[in-house]
Structure 1
Amino acid sequence: MYEYDDYDDDLPKSKSQVKKEMHELQDLGKQLTELSKAQLAEVPIDEDLQEAIATLHRIKSNEARRRQMQYIGKLMRSADQEAIESVLNRFKERDHQYLRFDKMAEDWRKRLLEEGSSAQGEFFDQHTSVDHQQLRQLIRDSHREIKNNKPPTNQRKLFRYLRDFFIQEAD
């Protein structure tokens, strides 16, 4: 029996297929242009592509930016797409993880301020490595702030402390 898949492999790519692949490369290049300098340094790309991305950030004209994006797409043809996608996926996963930590910190901050010592006890039971004294001080300062209708400076400090604690605990 004749396999159609084998037949398809022998045919040259259609013009629309080539165009689709070029757009995918441009999209991947666009994702690279949205990274910070520190993140971009972690991506395995050559110097020409790094320079093209840096040039794009300096360009103001929309038409020139469009042409530069096409050039970046062209340079992407010779880049290791799988390695780049792997690094970008790692960044996305890290972002999702940080969002989870933010949510956990916000939920615990709310519970610690509303439920009092029962929530503190539960938190200390679940997270034995937390600095009890510092956390209690942040909670007291936050309560004082709420009572005196002050701006939520200490509540933000409590949130940041909890978020940083969850990040450190995960590492």
Structure 2
Amino acid sequence: MNSPDQNKFQADDEDTLISRSELKRQMEALKQLGKRITELRPDQQEKIPMDESLRAAVTETRRITSNGALKRHMQFIGKLMRHADVDAIRHALDEFDTASQAHNQKFHAIEQWRERLLVEGATGNEALETFIDTYPQTDIQQLRQLIRNTRQEIKKQQAPVQYRKLFRFLRDTTEEPV
């Protein structure tokens, strides 16, 4: 028969014991995951799937300036993370992590859209129509203006200001819910 202390260290869905060291490693990993969330911009934090208590704690982090208080607050966020869907949060964070494959694939897709709109748009509107069909929330007038300005910029061999604006517009449009 297990003593009350041993029950505390048993995994919920397994019959194996988890050591205190392993529990500490798991809690530290949750705390680090919570820290990554707090380092995101507010608009990125909104896209992370978390419950209201965790969202409030993450938002509260912005106003804490004391190192000791911040350390205690990160412990609290780690505690709240125990009840969160960690896999969904990790997946969402990977989209914002510039070193992740998901982030790179998303940006490559946006770059391909930009090149396709600039190249194919000169011969016809197939790429533009495909983009609008894929993302119906697109501001068509603004997109056409950005494409036109970017082409003029390329033709005049100017600094890529419009080129970057077009990329940001495509990024924002593809991130919006359909």
**TM-score, length of structure 1 as denominator length:** 0.60
| Deviation (angstroms), 1:97 | 3.7
Structure 2: which 5+ residue stretches go unaligned? 1-13, 129-142
**Aligned residue among 100, 103, 106 for 2:108:** 100
- 1:116-135 correspondence to structure 2 within 5 Å: 124=122, 128-130=126-128, 135=147
Instruction: Tell me how far apart the structure 2 counterparts of residues 55 and 136 of structure 1 sit (CA, whole Å).
Output: 44
| Deviation (angstroms), 1:69 | 0.6
**Aligned residue among 77, 80, 84 for 1:75:** 80
| Deviation (angstroms), 1:62 | 1.5
Percentage identity across aligned positions? Answer: 31
* CA RMSD across the alignment: 4.0
Structure 1: which 5+ residue stretches go unaligned? 1-8, 113-119, 147-151
Instruction: Write out the 4+ residue segments of structure 1 that deviate beyond 6 Å after TM superposition.
Output: 131-134, 166-169
**Aligned residue among 17, 28, 33 for 2:33:** 28
- Determine which structure has more spread, i.e. the larger CA radius of gyration: 1
Change (3 A) 1:142 1:33: same
Instruction: Tell me how far apart the structure 1 counterparts of residues 153 and 161 of structure 2 sit (CA, whole Å).
Output: 11
Instruction: Tell me how far apart the structure 2 counterparts of residues 127 and 105 of structure 1 sit (CA, whole Å).
Output: 13
| Deviation (angstroms), 1:139 | 3.7
**TM-score, length of structure 2 as denominator length:** 0.58
Instruction: Tell me how far apart the structure 2 counterparts of residues 99 and 32 of structure 1 sit (CA, whole Å).
Output: 21
Contact in 1 for aligned 2:61/2:70 (Cα 8 Å) = yes
Contact in 2 for aligned 1:101/1:163 (Cα 8 Å) = no
Change (3 A) 1:57 1:145: same
Return the letter of the residue paired with 1:81.
V
User: Aligned residues, how many?
Assistant: 145
Aligned to 1:6: none
Give the number of the structure whose residues are more often helix, by fraction. 1
Q: Secondary structure at the match of 1:10?
A: coil
Instruction: Tell me how far apart the structure 1 counterparts of residues 41 and 82 of structure 2 sit (CA, whole Å).
Output: 22
Higher RCO (CA < 8 A, seq sep 6+): 1
Return the letter of the residue paired with 1:100.
H
Return the letter of the residue paired with 2:66.
S
Contact in 2 for aligned 1:45/1:80 (Cα 8 Å) = yes
